[in-house]
Amino acid sequence: MADKSKTVMEVDTVNVLGDKGYYDGDDIAACEKDGITCFVAKPAATGAAPEQLRLDKFKYYKDLDVYLCPMGQIFECSHYKKVDGDVLSVYTCDFCWKCPVKKLCTKNPVGKEILRRLNQDILDEVNKRTEENVDYYKTRGRIVEHPFGTIKSVWGYRSFLCKGLAMVSAEMALTCLAYNFRRVFNIFERQNKKLVFAS
């Protein structure tokens, strides 16, 4: 969609704001390499480990290519593994197995493994950019979420009446058309302007 936007607007670069559902490493990397600057929120770290031991608390040092865990131990790249077609770097620690909080940190009997994508540097840059531009990123919610909130909560339109991709697409297009007309009317009304329709 970002590529199509560039084509329609006839520009070489464009900024794209996406919610957490669009946080995909391969897609983001492809966009960044194609002149598309991404602002995408990173999903919150999950897992059974306490918050202070979750992956986002392990700090990566790019110049040394190591991770520093919250307990002060160093994780180095020990090998590579393929996961779902992607080659990932695996970082391990020689002292992990005897760490006093190991049972809270990981269920792996040998010790914790940190998997890092080959394009993780790009994701790190996007994460940093998004965190540093919170106000700018919030414009996505103000612009994009408004139509869905109005259609679902105000109009009560919570399910499609038609079935099949073609029919549902047409129904959604008509709904969006109605929303756009209503929005235009409201904007003109607030500005005390009248709409003139050409015959």
The secondary structure of the chain, three-state, reads CHHHHHHHHCCCCEEEEECHHHCCHHHHHHHHHCCEEEEECCCCCCCCCCHHHCHHHCEEECCCCEEECCCCCEEEEEEEEEECCEEEEEEECCCHHHCCCHHHHCCCCCCCCEEEECCHHHHHHHHHHHHHCHHHHHHHHHHHHHHHHHHHHHCCCCCCCCCCHHHHHHHHHHHHHHHHHHHHHHHHHHCCCCCCCCC
Cα-only R_g, the chain: 24
Please state the domain extents for the chain.
Answer: 2-42+124-133, 51-118, 137-190
User: How high is the pLDDT of residue 193?
Assistant: 80
Asked if pLDDT for residue 71 goes beyond 70, the answer is yes
What token pair was written down for 76? Answer: 């180095």
What token pair was written down for 88? Answer: 């990932």
Q: What is the pLDDT of residues 8-47, one digit of tens each?
A: 999 999 999 988 888 888 889 999 999 999 999 888 766 6
Whole-number Å distance between alpha carbons of 93 and 114: 10
pTM of the model: 0.67
User: How high is the pLDDT of residue 32?
Assistant: 92
Q: Which residues contact 79 (CB under 8 A, 6 or more apart)?
A: 90
Q: What is the pLDDT of residues 138-157, one digit of tens each?
A: 888 888 888 888 999 889 99
- What whole-number percentage of the chain has pLDDT above 90? 49
Asked if pLDDT for residue 108 goes beyond 90, the answer is no
Asked if pLDDT for residue 192 goes beyond 90, the answer is no
